[in-house]
Copies of this chain bind each other. A is one copy, B any other.
Amino acid sequence: MGYRAFLERMGEVNDLLCAESVLSWDARTMMPSGGADTRAKQLATLTVLAREHLVADETRRLLERAEAETAKLPEDSVERTMCAQVREAIEYHLRIPAALVHRRAEVGSKGQHVWAKARAESDFASFVPVLEQTIALNQEMAEHIGYEEHPYDALMFRFEPGETVRSLQPLFAALREGLQPLVRAIGEKEPPRVDFLQRPFPVDRQLEFALKMAGKLGYDTGRGRLDLTVHPFEISFTRNDVRITTRVNDEWMPKSLFGTLHETGHALYEQYCDPAYTRTPFATDLVGLYAVGGVSFGAHESQSRLFENHVGRSREFWELNYGELHATFPEQLAGIDTETFWRAVNRVEPGLVRVESDELTYDFHIMLRVEIEAALIDGSLGVSELPEAWNAKVKEYLGLDVPNDRLGVLQDVHWSSGQIGTFCNYTIGNVMAGQLFHTATQDDLIRDGLAKADYRPLREWMTEHVHRHGRRYTRDQLLENATGKALDPQYYIEHLTRKYTDIYGV
């Protein structure tokens, strides 16, 4: 009885956060421009009230009753795990003063405007004061949240619980060691032709084809929809309504196609969560205050990367699906065979901009950001020294000179809105994707499926080992249960080495 009432209370928190997500989806896909100011207020109110509803005396009373009622169940039972997660989230929020949350939101709101202008004018100096405030507020946050070794660990907790500056070091070292020689060798080879991808591909047919491929991978449009937006994303309002968005780029067709496959991977994580977890803490990020089922941002990213890269950019995928793509765009792809297309969408080219980078060089963009963020937070790097540090790392990791801050330190939106500590999840996602895909494809049924464009066995394996659990297990438990071992970059490095050796003959 007490546990049921507690769950219903948690359902209300999920409802509020789902409502916030609907308003956010609407703001980014449908809302007329005039609605921006009052929509921002509505979003802020929903977040504040969701937090208040979570930490309220009434919730704590219900939690205590639920804990008492379930005390005799095993510690790792669903019921006790939910109670423990809620207690941890409440304690997390109560450690952070409401006034600090409020100031952070204010600075974040102001920061986005300042940053947008600074970026447009490539004027880092004008961004310095608000970024200094942002760093100071995040340092303050870290002290309230608490940490063992490094203040940056406290900030990563919200996105990638358990990950630390220390734990990332060997991971990054292994990636550098495994991938740098490959990038260098490729740099000396002739790049594949990509000119035909820059032809105009009609928007409606691009969307139709992308949605068809999403459906093949398992995306259920009876519980979702695809829309256009400026910055593509996936968002869910319970597993029963999981939406994806894309941006169609007239000059670079792969953007929308692979972007849709990427968001499809995210969407599958939400759509195939256990229905019994709907509206429960296992489908709610109570720390980040976000209605999402994935156990960490990195785990979520593993699914988007897996379906985009391991499936969608594989030679096998296009051997089976290129015919349909060609039939959809006979003029644009005239004279282009499967091999040429596959090589083109896997071209490696170290670049300055993270969101445009290829599969192989992506992680170097992440490493430099994580290292810089950690240094900003522990105070070893000052905001005014940032461009210099950034440019040095770009030179070191990507071999490029940064011509201006717009293409350098000002390129990402994250810091402007006050978000620090989220970048590592992209690389965690890549590494997890490699490990999960390797394990799944030990299964004959899955390999046979991939060989005949039947992606259901693979999707079902991911559902069985990842999707259905929502936030039931920690990321490391999930990975251990699914693959029998802890996070290990070797499979990801092998995957990249195999693919790019094949394409570039290095």
Which residues on A are within 8 Å of B, measured CB to CB? 11-12, 15-16, 18-20, 22-23, 26, 30-39, 41-42, 45-46, 48-49, 53, 220-225, 237-238, 240-241, 278-279
Contacts and interface: CB of A to CB of B under 8 A. Distances in A.
Given A16-B49, A33-B222, A34-B220, A241 B279 contact: no
A223 B49 contact: no
A442 B46 CA distance: 47
Main secondary structure of the interface of A (DSSP, over half): helix
B12 A49 contact: yes
A15 B34 contact: no
A278 B15 contact: no
A94 to B, nearest CB: 19
Given A31-B241, A34-B240, A38-B279, 15 more contacts: A11-B41, A15-B42, A15-B46, A16-B46, A18-B42, A19-B42, A19-B45, A19-B46, A30-B225, A34-B222, A35-B223, A35-B237, A35-B241, A38-B238, A39-B241
A30 B23 CA distance: 13
A53 B42 CA distance: 14
A56 to B, nearest CB: 11
Contacts of A37: 240
Contacts of A222: 32-34
A12 B45 contact: yes
Nearest to A41: B15
Contacts of A223: 32, 34-35
Nearest to A12: B45
Nearest to A18: B42
Contacts of A31: 241
Nearest to A238: B38
A42 to B, nearest CB: 4
Contacts of A34: 220, 222-224, 240-241
Contact of A32 (B16, B38, B241, B278): B241
Contacts of A32: 221-225, 241
Contact of A19 (B23, B30, B36, B224): B23
A158 B327 CA distance: 59
A22 B15 contact: no
A240 B38 contact: yes
Contacts of A46: 15-16, 19
Contacts of A35: 223, 237-238, 240-241
27 contacts: A12-B45, A12-B48, A12-B49, A15-B41, A16-B49, A18-B42, A19-B20, A19-B22, A19-B45, A31-B241, A32-B223, A32-B224, A32-B241, A34-B220, A34-B222, A34-B223, A34-B224, A35-B237, A37-B240, A38-B237, A38-B240, A38-B278, A38-B279, A39-B237, A39-B241, A41-B279, A49-B53
